[in-house]
Chain A
Amino acid sequence: MSARPALELTALTAGYRDVPIIHDISLALAPGSITTLIGGNGAGKSTLLRAIYGTNRWFSGQIVYRGEDIHALEPSERLRRGIAFVPQGRCNFPSMSVAENLKLGCYTLAARLHRPRIDRVLSLFPMLRTKWSSAAGNLSGGEQQVLEIAMVLVTEPSLLLLDEPSLGLSPKMQAEVFAAVRDIAAHGVTALVVEQNVHGALLVSDTAVVMELGRKFMEGPAASVRDDPRIREAYLGGNIKETIEA
């Protein structure tokens, strides 16, 4: 943990238009680590990820990425610097083919890179090759989620923000998405993942951050957060089925 953090937030306050939603968030992500962000509905998890990528309103505080405060940069600029964000819910171009969606993923890249980068994500997710000319809107929910992750992976980000990637997926598909995230992190990518499948997510992550009512409530190694009685009570339930024992 001696290396410079991949991302460092200092007293970040952000929200929408004139309403601040998240307050005074300070956070440091170790390079190549996986951090799970958990919290109740409306706790401000999505708002935090949007603030890091720049698609909502910044109020105050610092967002330092690779030694630079990026809070004034447009999302496209943050993407060019290596931050990628896959929002919650379906986020692709539904009436375009998988091929076109991936080409749009390459939008910020030089033309000569399109082919090799797309080939790389296709080897990572071979399913996409079989759906190459299908409209994205015709894929299953899990396939669309994989497509969306692939759409940003073509930029080879160094910081990956994922908002509920396992939402609405079958347990099998969830396990695949978790495995993919772990695989990506193994290549040195830092990941910050919002999860409602707290149990499954904590099993594959290094660190956990808990948010409540727009503030950071707890932070620590995934294992210790998982064993915290308050967290067990609030998110894990007494009798949760331990199906996704990775």
Chain B
Amino acid sequence: MTIDLAYVLELVLNGLMLGLLYALIAVGLALIFGVLQIVNFAHGELMMLGSFTMALLLPLFGLSYWPSLAMAVIVTALVGAAFYQFFLSRVEQTEFERSILITLGLSMVLLYGAQYIFSATPRMVDTSWGFEGIEIGAIRMTWTRITGGAVALVAFAALYVLLKWTQLGRAMRAVAQNREAALMVGLKPRVVSRNAVTLAAGLCGLAGGALAPIQLVQPGMGQAVIFKAFALVIIAGLGNIPGAIATSLALGMLESWIGGFYDMVWQEGSVFVIMIVAIILRPEGLFQARGMRVG
């Protein structure tokens, strides 16, 4: 068997793009877990919401990509903020089970609500770019994929700046590291939590919006991604953002490679095999929860 170099490169590029979009989801999960100590089971559905917003708005905006993507981010972020305000803000730190039920509940409502309204039929989403793209030698990438990866990269850069250098982001890390100290310096944990959920939801909207023209859009798309994202966040250590980004990239790459050379089954299963191995070999990845850091 001869391996075509262009094909391998194409797999790598696609893997990177996929990994970057996974990372947006995983980072949001890590952020919410870090700040609120809540595992958000509705995270995948927030992404799905972003995809549907994109799919529905594109025709309204004459298929133009950017305004639709911006609206997908805004709509999803607002849904996240409302979800925090009405539900999550009522959950106490110690009520872990309640938080699971509430986020699972939202996940179900969004999933079946979308099925009811839009049916489960997958839909293709078209943008004004169509299938145009760039070709370098034998390698071909569509604009939607290139843009998806670029948008994710810009989002990470912005997230890094926010968490590292602004009081807004520092406050999120602060609440994640020590709630009592956060109160000592005059932070309001509820406001910080609301900001974190809104930001994480916005990242879901961005990922969902960017994925819409790349993958088929359907109500169940969040479910497929969320379990991978959980696996990623666990492999990286809960609440560990740089770790989540690194593992997401590795996973996207791995999936793309396995998908390129082996059966689909392996592609879907590989992340979970890795998660189990990672947990066994490096349990601190899993149990770091207490000493968690965001950023």
**A residues bordering B, Cβ < 8 Å?**
53, 55, 74-76, 79-80, 84-87, 91-96, 100, 103-105, 107-108, 148, 151-152, 155
A80 to B186, CA, bound (A): 8
A140 to B167, CA, bound (A): 26
B contact face: mostly helix, strand, loop, or mixed: helix
Inter-chain contact B167/A94, CB cutoff 8 Å: no
A86 to B188, CA, bound (A): 16
Inter-chain contact A104/B180, CB cutoff 8 Å: no
B184 within 8 A of A: yes
Residues in A neighbouring B211, C-beta threshold 8 A: none
Residues in A neighbouring B167, C-beta threshold 8 A: 103-104, 107
Inter-chain contact A104/B170, CB cutoff 8 Å: yes
A-B contact pairs, 24 of them (CB 8 A): A53-B183, A55-B183, A76-B183, A76-B186, A76-B188, A85-B184, A86-B184, A87-B181, A87-B184, A91-B178, A91-B180, A91-B181, A91-B184, A92-B178, A92-B181, A93-B178, A93-B181, A100-B170, A103-B167, A104-B171, A108-B186, A148-B181, A152-B184, A155-B186
Residues in B neighbouring A85, C-beta threshold 8 A: 184
A93 to B181, CA, bound (A): 7
B228 within 8 A of A: no
Number of A-B contacts (CB under 8 A): 63
B153 within 8 A of A: no
B293 within 8 A of A: yes
B194 within 8 A of A: no
Q: Known contacts A103-B167, A103-B170; is A94 also within 8 Å of B177 by CB?
A: yes
| Interface range on chain B (Cβ under 8 Å from partner) | 10 to 19
Inter-chain contact B185/A94, CB cutoff 8 Å: no
B88 within 8 A of A: no
Inter-chain contact B188/A148, CB cutoff 8 Å: no
Query: A26: shortest Cβ distance to chain B, in Å?
Result: 26
B293's nearest neighbour on chain A, judged by CB, is A95
B292's nearest neighbour on chain A, judged by CB, is A95
A contact face: mostly helix, strand, loop, or mixed: mixed
Interface residues of B in 162-177 (CB under 8 A from A): 167, 170-171, 173-174, 177
Taking A91-B180, A94-B177, A108-B185 as known contacts, 8 extra A-B pairs with beta carbons closer than 8 A to each other, sorted by chain A number, are: A75-B183, A80-B186, A93-B178, A94-B178, A103-B167, A104-B171, A107-B185, A151-B181
Inter-chain contact B177/A96, CB cutoff 8 Å: yes
Residues in B neighbouring A105, C-beta threshold 8 A: 185
Inter-chain contact A152/B185, CB cutoff 8 Å: yes
B151 within 8 A of A: no
Query: B193: shortest Cβ distance to chain A, in Å?
Result: 14
B187 within 8 A of A: yes
Query: B230: shortest Cβ distance to chain A, in Å?
Result: 24
Question: B185 contacts which of A55, A74, A95, A104 (Cβ < 8 Å)?
Answer: A104
Residues in A neighbouring B173, C-beta threshold 8 A: 93, 96
Query: A55: shortest Cβ distance to chain B, in Å?
Result: 5
Residues in B neighbouring A104, C-beta threshold 8 A: 167, 170-171, 174, 185, 187
Residues in B neighbouring A74, C-beta threshold 8 A: 188
Query: B45: shortest Cβ distance to chain A, in Å?
Result: 32
